[in-house]
Structure 1
Amino acid sequence: MAERIPPTSVTGELPDGLIDAFWAYENALLTNDLEALDAAFAPGNATLRGDAGGLLVGHDRISSFRGARGGAPVRTITSIHVRVLSHEYALIVSENEPRSGGRGLVTQLWARHADAAGWVVESAQVAGAPAAMNTAIWRVLGNPLVAPTTSDGGALDGETVAVKDLFDVRGFAVGAGIPEYLSEAMPADANAPALAALLAAGASVRGIAQTDEFAYSIAGKNVHYGTPPNGAVPGAIPGGSSSGPASAVATGHASIALATDTAGSIRVPASYQGLWGLRTTHGAVDSAGLLPLAPSFDTVGWLTRSAPVLRAAAASTLDAESQQPVDAQFVISTELLFAADPAMQGALVDAVGRLEAAGLVGEVGVVDLGDTSGFFDAFRTVQGAEAWRQHGEWITSHPGVLASDVASRFETASTITDDAESSAREVLAAARTQLDEALAGRILLLPSTASTAPSLTADPGEIDAARAATLALTCFAGIGGYPALSVPLLEVEGAPAGLCLVGPRGSDLALIDLASTFIP
């Protein structure tokens, strides 16, 4: 039971039952009594709960968040200040000391509800003790961790980088989202070229950010370090495998995420968290000093909160001579559009209509990509074969280390035969030619993901279904080796989503320039 103390101060006549309701709530927190906590918050869609992670609106969303967090930190109430507003409303501000140290503050608007049989919370703002470092986002943090290598400023002067834990950072080992892998890895002798380019342009490294295990996921969950917060949708998954760097940017910890995209690992978190994210043309950025997953599809790229910063990062890294202008003709594929859920389909159609009306994309045509039914399976086969070739030996010698979903993918990958891989590569070679001919240099518009970010409490089957539907969209850029830019232009019921531009190889900078006109 929470140790009760009397109110430190009261303004107005203290209503009957209010303080008892307050302490009942504190006891429910202490025991993680979800039923009692649900009853303590007002029913309906107007109830509010906010903290450093964002604002939750509605009793059901608050309840879902509470069920996913696994209990609140143990705390001791040190003061209670009550301001009685009327017979039906009162404001309570309480101070607390978490067992872990520091001080916290909770502000609650209590209301007397007849249908709730007493006092309930209509609005709550929680300010916990400030964390020195969110270990779900960061593996290593500095101020800075690595300084710029230029003293004359540069295009990225003042920008800070969250480095995905797959890149070499001089003096640090690569952990790939797995503590056991990190414990056996050796510190890097030099920075990866992709990181060196950013440092040479004036950026500094804020820290090394978490990734999904071996980057073989697009959910953003990590059983070892926890799930990074979604900086745009509290209580939702952040998207992976560039989850840590994306969350660092979305929450304002860094301005640039240096990340990778094999099958959507930049575009998915960009879509889920309302960020700009670029998967570069395959091979356009030096991948030395990068722990591979599937080299035939692995690319380096960035996530940012704005187009100018993204362009500066890309221009500082890409070879200017390899970049080419693009004919600004846009097309959509009804086949790919229908792979997204209905709400996302509607959001994309609405967005394209607005862009057409504003004269920003001209008249968007419809492209027939031909028979693409075997593309995804072939992509998945080659990706799996390469992933097992890269990590299979380590996984075999470390049984039980990986999360069940990642382990299952690697187990399937281990069964791919040489003949199956060879056949899949033939399918992909033909698919690449087919896509080149169908698109003919035009820019393909499609949703970056098949849906908005699923809830942290979503059934694993629901998350897996969202993953499969999204990969059916994201794999096309990997098959063609195309650059793909996720632009935070869509919205579904208040949640962000990305409009993806897939352009010809070498049109990376041109895509950013075009899309920069979409958002004022």
Structure 2
Amino acid sequence: MAEASAIRGAEAVPADLLAAFTAYEAAIVVNDLDHLDAAFAPGPETMRGDAAGLLVGHEAISAFRGTRGGVPQRVIERIEYRELGPDAALLVSISRYATGGTGLQTQVWEHRDGGWLITAAHVTPRAQALDRSMWRTVGDPLFQGAWEGPLEGLTVAVKDLFAIKGYRIGAGNPTFLDSVKAETYTSPAVSDLLRGGASLRGIARTDEFAYSIAGDNAHYGTPPNAALPGALPGGSSSGPASAVASGQAEIGLATDTAGSVRVPASYQGLWGLRTTHDLVPRQGMLPLAQSFDTIGWLTRDGETLQRVADWCLSYDGSDSTESVYGESGHDLPWRFLVPEEALAAVEDDTRAAFEQMLEVLAAHPSGPEIETVSIGALDDWFVPFRTVQGAEAWRNNGPWLREHPGSVGPAVAERFRAAALVSSADESAARAALAPLAERLHELVGDAQLLLPTVPGPAPMRTSGGEKVDRVRMATLRMTTPAAVAGVPALSVPLLTVPSQLGPAPVGVCAVSRAGTDIALVRLGRRLARVLSEAAAASEGTSA
């Protein structure tokens, strides 16, 4: 960094504070983690914030810094000093980056135990053209949709698995992106939205080959969680979910093999619909496991999701999707079945919030009928599902992976390594085990809907270690696979709030219905949300 004497305004800063500040900046340049940790005050009240969110506590700040890596080369060109008290000061500094652009750092320093320590910091980085962890490419718009239609005025973030004419599919992996040719046509799932009047905002990131539900990516980074800053966004539809949650798009076009719509919807407080398997055509979509791959949408509210479903799943809306108004033209039964195995598998705070929601529904004059049912051990679903998914994932991607060794991140590489070991006999046995389970679920949703928490708990912190993230992943997949196995629609609605290390966090409630009732399922979800909202308003009025 620049010599202290060369920094405009440095002459006003007390010498010992300026020395602490310049030592901290020198540590930033070389990414000296020990010095950076020592510069922040110990304890649970120290804070650091940036565009990604607020970290509270020295431990959380240190964990974040350990995963961040270094920062681009910069020099401090100006500093402003304000005394806050005999042992406290505010420093606001402007940094200039070697590759262009400026940033702003705001720090509160306190004099403790003979030295100056940072107790609060906020970093405003240089402006970016786009968040590359969220977007692969973006426009304003990238493609204009029809000038009129039921989706007019809405913008779409398309997961980087769909064909768009003139663009390559990237699948969340730079080596794959470099190895493929530009698409010669646009997939029907994208075209339907454009024909309805929506415009394409851009191509959004995906976890590598959609083989993850955490939302991180070893090559491009982790998109922000707009609902719970500092947490993982959920995946594999991480980019579309973050784009919608942050207000950069109204619709996320996504895929769901084992929860890739529902998990990010739950983590970021969104509405997310996994459609009936094979209802929306998958032409022009890079597959992971065709037996379970399904297209879906993410939105911030139920009304927008209803507009999308009504258009894309109606005869008039889509030239490629079979009309489902025959199944969805009538309301679904106002009756829910709660799987006891799923409720037993969630975290305590999630279970408490969900059970409180059920009590509110039961007490409401217009509340639904609610029963508890058994769907069998969750591992009976998950283990054979994982086997079939792995077999198909390797058939789809194994040849490319063999030709490009070392091209995927370690977590995804390990999943593909296990997938490569699945034998034909293993796959056949797993399919045989799944068939009666799917039939059982079809029977249950014949005249009712399953209702369960979408995921076990809130999104893990971005700084969580690999082992914890994998534990959460396995617990989550046990809850999301039954709908995938049965090929039925599943809707995540943001109805629960639970405590987390980062503050109040959203958790979705998932409703699962019979095949082909997708449009009616969204209506049912909106009705459920409306009843709970009415109950909350009545409770507030009574307490007032």
- The aligned residue for residue 504 of structure 1 is 514
Residue pair 1:367, 1:439 contacting (<8 A) in 2 also: no
CA deviations on 1:288-316 (whole Å, 9 max, x unpaired) are 11111111111101112222222212222
Question: What secondary structure, in the 3-state scheme, does the structure 1 residue paired with 2:26 have?
Answer: helix
- The aligned residue for residue 237 of structure 1 is 232
Does residue 56 of structure 2 align to residue 57 of structure 1? yes
- The aligned residue for residue 139 of structure 1 is 136
Structure 1 Cα separation of the partners of residues 33 and 50 of structure 2: 19
| Residue 5 to residue 15, structure 1, CA distance change in 2 (3 Å) | closer
More helix by share: 2
Residue 287 of structure 2 aligns with an amino acid whose one-letter code is: P
Residue pair 2:341, 2:376 contacting (<8 A) in 1 also: no
- The aligned residue for residue 443 of structure 1 is 449
- The aligned residue for residue 71 of structure 1 is 70
Structure 1 Cα separation of the partners of residues 219 and 453 of structure 2: 31
CA deviations on 1:352-398 (whole Å, 9 max, x unpaired) are 33444455643532112245542211111211122222222222222
- The aligned residue for residue 542 of structure 2 is none
Structure 2 Cα separation of the partners of residues 476 and 426 of structure 1: 15
- The aligned residue for residue 130 of structure 1 is 127
Match for residue 195 of structure 1 among 181, 190, 193? 190
Does residue 409 of structure 2 align to residue 410 of structure 1? no
Does residue 107 of structure 2 align to residue 112 of structure 1? no
- The aligned residue for residue 202 of structure 2 is 207
| Residue 30 to residue 361, structure 1, CA distance change in 2 (3 Å) | farther
Structure 2 Cα separation of the partners of residues 514 and 253 of structure 1: 27
Shifted more, 437-446 versus 248-257: the winner is 437-446
CA deviations on 1:157-182 (whole Å, 9 max, x unpaired) are 22111111111111111121222222
Residue pair 2:388, 2:431 contacting (<8 A) in 1 also: yes
Question: What secondary structure, in the 3-state scheme, does the structure 1 residue paired with 2:434 have?
Answer: helix
Q: What is the CA-CA distance between 1:136 and the residue it aligns to?
A: 1.6
Match for residue 272 of structure 2 among 274, 277, 285? 277
TM-score, normalised via structure 2 length: 0.89
Match for residue 217 of structure 1 among 183, 199, 212? 212
Does residue 464 of structure 2 align to residue 462 of structure 1? no
Shifted more, 232-241 versus 462-471: the winner is 232-241
Does residue 301 of structure 2 align to residue 301 of structure 1? no
Residue pair 1:220, 1:242 contacting (<8 A) in 2 also: yes
Q: How does 1:1-16 map to 2 (within 5 A)?
A: 3-5=3-5, 8-9=8-9
Residue 345 of structure 2 aligns with an amino acid whose one-letter code is: A
Question: What secondary structure, in the 3-state scheme, does the structure 2 residue paired with 1:85 have?
Answer: strand
Shifted more, 426-435 versus 14-23: the winner is 14-23
Residue pair 1:10, 1:84 contacting (<8 A) in 2 also: no
Residue pair 2:280, 2:294 contacting (<8 A) in 1 also: yes
Shifted more, 425-434 versus 339-348: the winner is 339-348
Structure 2 Cα separation of the partners of residues 339 and 93 of structure 1: 48
| Residue 356 to residue 40, structure 1, CA distance change in 2 (3 Å) | farther
| Residue 372 to residue 139, structure 1, CA distance change in 2 (3 Å) | closer
| Residue 287 to residue 323, structure 1, CA distance change in 2 (3 Å) | farther
Q: What is the CA-CA distance between 1:146 and the residue it aligns to?
A: 0.9
Residue 191 of structure 2 aligns with an amino acid whose one-letter code is: A
| Residue 14 to residue 139, structure 1, CA distance change in 2 (3 Å) | closer
Shifted more, 401-410 versus 347-356: the winner is 347-356
Residue 127 of structure 1 aligns with an amino acid whose one-letter code is: T
Q: What is the CA-CA distance between 1:420 and the residue it aligns to?
A: 2.2
Q: What is the CA-CA distance between 1:78 and the residue it aligns to?
A: 0.9
| Residue 323 to residue 113, structure 1, CA distance change in 2 (3 Å) | farther
Does residue 432 of structure 2 align to residue 426 of structure 1? yes
Q: Which consecutive residues of structure 2, in runs of 5 or more, have no partner in the other structure?
A: 315-323, 534-544
Shifted more, 433-442 versus 132-141: the winner is 433-442
Does residue 459 of structure 2 align to residue 453 of structure 1? yes
- The aligned residue for residue 389 of structure 2 is 383
| Residue 182 to residue 8, structure 1, CA distance change in 2 (3 Å) | closer
Structure 2 Cα separation of the partners of residues 458 and 84 of structure 1: 37
Residue pair 2:341, 2:377 contacting (<8 A) in 1 also: no
Question: What secondary structure, in the 3-state scheme, does the structure 1 residue paired with 2:70 have?
Answer: coil
- The aligned residue for residue 41 of structure 1 is 40
Shifted more, 94-103 versus 499-508: the winner is 499-508
Shifted more, 315-324 versus 262-271: the winner is 315-324
Residue pair 2:325, 2:519 contacting (<8 A) in 1 also: no
Shifted more, 157-166 versus 233-242: the winner is 233-242
Residue pair 1:76, 1:97 contacting (<8 A) in 2 also: yes
TM-score, normalised via structure 1 length: 0.93
Residue 222 of structure 1 aligns with an amino acid whose one-letter code is: N
Residue pair 1:482, 1:502 contacting (<8 A) in 2 also: yes
Residue 515 of structure 1 aligns with an amino acid whose one-letter code is: G
Q: What is the CA-CA distance between 1:187 and the residue it aligns to?
A: 1.8
Q: What is the CA-CA distance between 1:263 and the residue it aligns to?
A: 0.4
> How many pairs were matched up?
515
| Residue 194 to residue 20, structure 1, CA distance change in 2 (3 Å) | same
Aligned-residue sequence identity (percent) comes to: 49
Structure 2 Cα separation of the partners of residues 167 and 226 of structure 1: 21
Residue 340 of structure 2 aligns with an amino acid whose one-letter code is: T
Structure 2 Cα separation of the partners of residues 479 and 63 of structure 1: 41
RMSD: 2.3
Does residue 274 of structure 2 align to residue 268 of structure 1? no
Q: What is the CA-CA distance between 1:221 and the residue it aligns to?
A: 2.0
Residue pair 1:108, 1:123 contacting (<8 A) in 2 also: yes
Residue 311 of structure 2 aligns with an amino acid whose one-letter code is: S
Residue pair 1:369, 1:439 contacting (<8 A) in 2 also: no
Residue 492 of structure 2 aligns with an amino acid whose one-letter code is: S
Q: What is the CA-CA distance between 1:271 and the residue it aligns to?
A: 1.5
Residue pair 2:226, 2:246 contacting (<8 A) in 1 also: yes
Q: Which consecutive residues of structure 1, in runs of 5 or more, have no partner in the other structure?
A: none
Structure 2 Cα separation of the partners of residues 430 and 254 of structure 1: 40
Residue pair 1:14, 1:84 contacting (<8 A) in 2 also: no
Structure 2 Cα separation of the partners of residues 83 and 62 of structure 1: 25
Structure 2 Cα separation of the partners of residues 5 and 252 of structure 1: 43
